[in-house]
Amino acid sequence: MTTREAFLEKVRQAQPPARPRPDVPLFAAAGGDLRARFTAALQAMGGTCVEVRAASDVGGLIRERFGAEASIASATGEVPGTRVLTAETAPASLQDIEVGVVRARFGVAETGSVWFSEREYVVNALGYIVQHLVVLLDPAHLLDGLQDVYRRDDFREARYAALVTGPSATADIEGVLIRGAQGVRSLTVVWLAAD
């Protein structure tokens, strides 16, 4: 047994016993147009929403926004990439990818967030190591608030999940806003119905 394996085994043995999740109260829905609320919340966090007619239009959108030579890793069969992405893809191999494309399972109007699990990302690093993230989102798959996320079966069943709201940003140094400091520099949500 290697030192790494011995260390991981000790961590596994030291885990606290499982216990049920607390009940999250269900608050009254904020109401209003979910898509408009989602768009406003995402824009406030530095993200962008765009509309396309079909998945075949996303490639043109990417070329227009990020250049004709942009390298693309796509986690969805709806949009072809320039790099093949499989579960066996080494995360570090994505370090030179400019654009990642992924379909969100759902969005949250309250915060302008999109939800991903290991199934959507295929390789978890896709959501963090690329320069720009393009997210396909079906407007019919919007939830009102964060409380609704915890009631979904896919949330409870996921091994890994992330709610992503806009591009990475920090203002730690002299209060100057920097995008892409710890993750993607831009996040574009593309309104596109799921097949």
Give Cα 91 to chain centroid, integer Å: 16
* Dist. CA 68–CA 55, nearest whole Å: 17
The CA R_g of the chain, rounded to the nearest whole Å, is 18
Nearest in space to 82 (alpha carbons), one of 95, 100, 64, 66: 100
CATH, domain 32-191, list 3.30.470.20, 3.40.50.300, 3.40.50.10420, 3.40.50.1970: 3.40.50.10420
Q: Which residues have a Cβ under 8 Å from the Cβ of 134 and sit 6 or more positions away? A: 58, 61, 62, 79, 99, 100, 101, 102, 188, 190
Q: Do residues 115 and 161 lie in contact, with contact meaning Cβ atoms separated by under 8 Å?
A: yes
Q: Do residues 109 and 41 lie in contact, with contact meaning Cβ atoms separated by under 8 Å?
A: yes
Q: What is the pLDDT along the chain (195 residues), one digit of tens a residue?
A: 789 999 999 999 998 888 887 777 788 878 789 999 999 999 999 999 999 999 999 999 999 999 999 999 999 999 999 998 999 999 999 999 999 999 999 999 999 999 999 899 999 999 999 999 999 999 999 999 988 998 899 888 888 899 999 888 777 777 777 776 778 899 999 999 997
Overall pTM > 0.75: yes
